[in-house]
Amino acid sequence: MIMTQLYVVESADFLFLQHQLQLTPGNLSSHLSKLEEAGYVEIVKEFIERKPHTALKLTQRGRSAFKGYQQNLKQVFTDLPE
């Protein structure tokens, strides 16, 4: 679901994703770390008006991987007998 949320936007805020996906901060952070290690997600940490802010976005590799997943899923449904 993280990849799906990030695929449709340029970037997303950590708190936005946390609320959208109803995950704990630790759980979301753990998933994002794995996606970052795979080269699918870029994590940008900064301060905005002295408050920490984490922005997330799919890398080109992540977009390509998600598009491939989407095509494979469509094929599975196309191949189902009627």
Tell me the per-residue pLDDT of 49-72, one tens digit each, with 9 for 90 and over.
999 999 999 999 999 999 999 999
Q: Which amino acid is at 67?
A: K
For 23-44, write each residue's pLDDT tens digit. Answer: 999 999 999 999 999 999 999 9
Domain that holds residue 44: 2-79
Region of 22 please: left (phi>0), alpha (psi -120 to 50) or beta. Answer: left
CATH number for the domain that contains residue 23: 1.10.10.10
CA 61 from centroid of its chain's CA atoms: 12
| 10, HSE (Cβ side, Cα atoms, 13 Å) | 0
pLDDT at 82: 78
Q: How many domains does the chain have?
A: 1
